[in-house]
Structure 1
Amino acid sequence: MRTTIISDIALPPALAAALVAALAAAPAGPAGADPLDQDLQDQMTTRGIPGLAFAVVADGRIVDTRAYGSANLETGAPAHAGTVWAIGSITKSFTAIALMRLVEEGLVDLDAPLRTFVEPPHPDWGRVTVRQLVGNASGVPEFIDNPCGHVPAGDSPATRHDVLAEAACLPLGFEPGQRFAYANTNFHLIAEIIESVTGQPFEAVVTARVLEPLGLRDTRFLDHERVIAHRADGYRRTDDGYLNEAPMDPLYEAAPGGLLSTVTDMARFILALGDPRLLPPERWREMWTPFPVREGHTPYGLGFGLTPLEGRARIGHNGSAVGFASAFSWFPAEGVGVVVLSNGYQEPFGRNVQDLAHRIVARHFEE
């Protein structure tokens, strides 16, 4: 199986630096107009990021968008506000909102076990509740680790069922609700539930219940056959320079990390968070409350990361896919949000930029 890293909740320090640097940005201006531009371009060079774009929202509107570098190194196409990037695990927040809309429609009970809706891939998984799946507290094993070895290394699963088979040889890793453990398998199971209760493809449900109501015309699920204008390519940097990353499998990625988007669409998404026309206030609060586990603490609600930044409440998610890294954050008390999308991913991201990130965000909030 080709391994695709879809990142966990803590912001990758390099992208966190870019993200919080964006919070300090002045109103939109040409690249090179303030020190932020040089800071970001230096980080891109250091971290192996060919192209990057960000958007900042404040006071209920988009106040800044900027882009740097290349969307495609072979053609030289520049990155811009309309560049379409793979957003990886940010997709989980969209999946969770679609699920909660089905809860509101009476089609899903968050506290019902998985076996209520679908035949569990492993008998032991059937007792896990929907809430525990979307809160990453289920105990379901991570398929990315390829524990069963059903798909030979280098091959890509053709269907979601193949993906689930990669973990279905294992029972639960811990009792459901015992602790937090981020697993992409959880969201593949959520997709199975969504398809079971609606009778529609997962992608169609998310499109109809989230993307279209928000007017996100440049956000769509991965499709290699369709011509998508301004689509960025993903890269990884080696000692010999940049290499093209292999394309992601759409069915392999869809529910946990299969969306493509732009910074302007993502900014609109941030502005819609908390909108009662999408979900009632009590559902938003439910999603943005740390999941109650019996051991330890969880930095996660229902489809959203809740790790504070410099002591300030933060709602967001980050993600990585093959050749891409991304992050968005919304600071509700300050009414400020930011999204950063890029087409370079390299581990580990340097810890040194985390200190820079803290200094920049502190400067912004002190102003």
Structure 2
Amino acid sequence: MKQGRRAVLGMALLGGVGHVFGGSPKPMVSGPPESRTALDAELTAISQAPECQLSSMSVLAIRDGKVAYEFQSGQRFIGIGGQPSKPANDRTLYRMASISKMMTTLGLMRLVEDGKLALDTDAGAYLGYPLRNPRFPDEPVTLRTLLSHTSTLRDEAGYSFPAAKSLKSLLLPAGELHGNGAMWAPTAPPGQYFTYSNLNWGVIGTIMERVTGERFDRLMKRLLLDPMGLHGGYNPSEFSPEDLSDLATLYRKRTVDTEIWNTAGPWIPQVDDYSQRPPARPAGIDTYDIGTNATPFSPTGGMRMSAHDMGKVMLMLLNDGKHEGRQILRPATLATMFSQQWADNGSNGNTDHGLFNYWGLGNQHFADKPGMQLVEGGGFAAVGHLGEAYGLMSVFAADLAGKNGMVVLVGGVSSDPEVYKGKYSAMPRFEEQVLTALHRGVIVGKKI
């Protein structure tokens, strides 16, 4: 879920907290006004808590298969030097971090439906070279093991590389990037042990390119965004002027290159700050050999999308793969994607201090059990994904059977989430509070 840091020029925030949080919330208009007002106030208070302020937030809740509530607060861009601040709204796009993995998987499953890919085929057959852990040369790595984080690939050697560097040079022992082989786990063969790995999705994106001949960012627009009328994507340099204007800058009250936090200090941009110049095209992309290295587009964490459009994706999942009458994915495909592939038994995986307990294909399973509950007091089991990178904290949690769900996108945090711990789960406390407020106020309570 966590990703590497990028060096982005730090900028100081001018103005007080009220300026930062003076956004324009837009809840749904149905229901008692007093209910909306109470939930709006609760979420605003969470976002302004001194323990961990949120630079911006956009949330959505679905009840009984319909969007029942939307809310935004804070600033998608904090103005300085005479530049005006821009409030978050229902069109604000966020770099959603690791929820991107689930979005990438939706595109991949369309290729599975088309017969271009098979989950249990040796992935090397698609790459054009062997994809084998040198310590277990007789055990193939498959898309199923890549999607379930049981491939034995690790992030220790990196997971994002210049376009000119083929992943082949990293994955094969003779390659120039292979080094001491830190990208391959030494202890268990593929399919046996869970360790969350971003590198899996760089390989997955590259495989998708290989079998289609299309560049990953444009392929995902064809497979998912365009058919559903979604804004955003994996490559801001190709965004429309309108989408670029709506893109949220991600912030932390922490310098970019260190772990030093200052909750009383300024908001410092981390990524997606295009106030001075437009986003550059990925380096080397003009001469990129499609199907050799999709990591510059970050299939693992680079999708930008609004909570509003993420709600459309969630509704598609709740409606057996249909979006506005069009079948995006077949029900059987979704059943496969969200089937459990791995469950922690105490010795078969790294749970990251209890954050990961069950996994499907490109999605996390949130069991309604003590220590891993999404909402206080329990009552909401779901599938989906979490995300964390550059100050962004995100949740996509869908109860497919009950046709309920919640989306949370936070554009920046003032405190280290590792310190501001939750009370009943492995999530930060503010995520627990936001999810519980949405669950109690929308899904369990009256529709508002």
| TM interval, short-chain normalised | 0.7 to 0.9
Match of 2:371 in 1: none
1:260 aligns with 2:304: yes
Query: 5 Å matches for 1:313-328?
Result: 313-328=381-396
Deviations 1:35-63 (A, max 9, x none): 32232222222323111111122333322
Aligned residue identity for 2:118:
D
Match of 2:25 in 1: none
Query: 5 Å matches for 1:106-121?
Result: 106-118=115-127, 119-120=129-130
Match of 1:130 in 2: 143
CA distance in 2, matches of 1:247, 1:34: 32
1:275 is matched with which residue: 316, 321, 346?
A: 321
1:329 aligns with 2:387: no
Compare the two structures and name the one with the higher helix fraction. Answer: 1
Residues 88 and 31 (structure 1), Cα distance of their counterparts in 2 relative to 1, 3 Å cut: farther
Residues 292 and 122 (structure 1), Cα distance of their counterparts in 2 relative to 1, 3 Å cut: closer
Match of 1:38 in 2: 41
TM-score by length of 1: 0.80
CA drift of 1:366 comes to: 7.0
Match of 1:22 in 2: none
Residues 110 and 314 (structure 1), Cα distance of their counterparts in 2 relative to 1, 3 Å cut: same
Match of 1:59 in 2: 64
1:351 aligns with 2:422: yes
CA drift of 1:206 comes to: 1.4
Match of 2:266 in 1: 241
CA distance in 2, matches of 1:28, 1:82: 22
Residues 317 and 78 (structure 1), Cα distance of their counterparts in 2 relative to 1, 3 Å cut: same
Q: Structure 2: give runs of 5+ residues left out of the alignment.
A: 7-27, 171-176, 254-260, 274-279, 283-294, 350-356, 368-373, 424-428
SS at structure 1 position matched to 2:108: helix
Q: Structure 1: give runs of 5+ residues left out of the alignment.
A: 6-24, 149-155
TM-score by length of 2: 0.67
Aligned partners of 1:86 and 1:259 also within 8 Å = yes
CA distance in 2, matches of 1:35, 1:301: 36
Residues 260 and 185 (structure 1), Cα distance of their counterparts in 2 relative to 1, 3 Å cut: same
Residues 32 and 192 (structure 1), Cα distance of their counterparts in 2 relative to 1, 3 Å cut: same
CA distance in 1, matches of 2:434, 2:67: 22
CA drift of 1:253 comes to: 5.0
SS at structure 2 position matched to 1:41: helix
CA distance in 2, matches of 1:356, 1:185: 32
CA distance in 2, matches of 1:324, 1:60: 27
CA distance in 1, matches of 2:72, 2:153: 39
- Equivalent residue pairs, number: 338
CA distance in 1, matches of 2:91, 2:192: 43
Q: Specify the structure having the higher radius of gyration (Cα).
A: 2
Residues 253 and 36 (structure 1), Cα distance of their counterparts in 2 relative to 1, 3 Å cut: farther
Match of 2:200 in 1: 186
CA drift of 1:88 comes to: 1.0
Match of 1:202 in 2: 216
Aligned partners of 1:313 and 1:333 also within 8 Å = no
Structure of greater relative contact order (alpha carbons < 8 Å, 6+ residues apart): 1
Residues 51 and 179 (structure 1), Cα distance of their counterparts in 2 relative to 1, 3 Å cut: same
Aligned partners of 1:110 and 1:131 also within 8 Å = yes
CA distance in 2, matches of 1:300, 1:26: 36
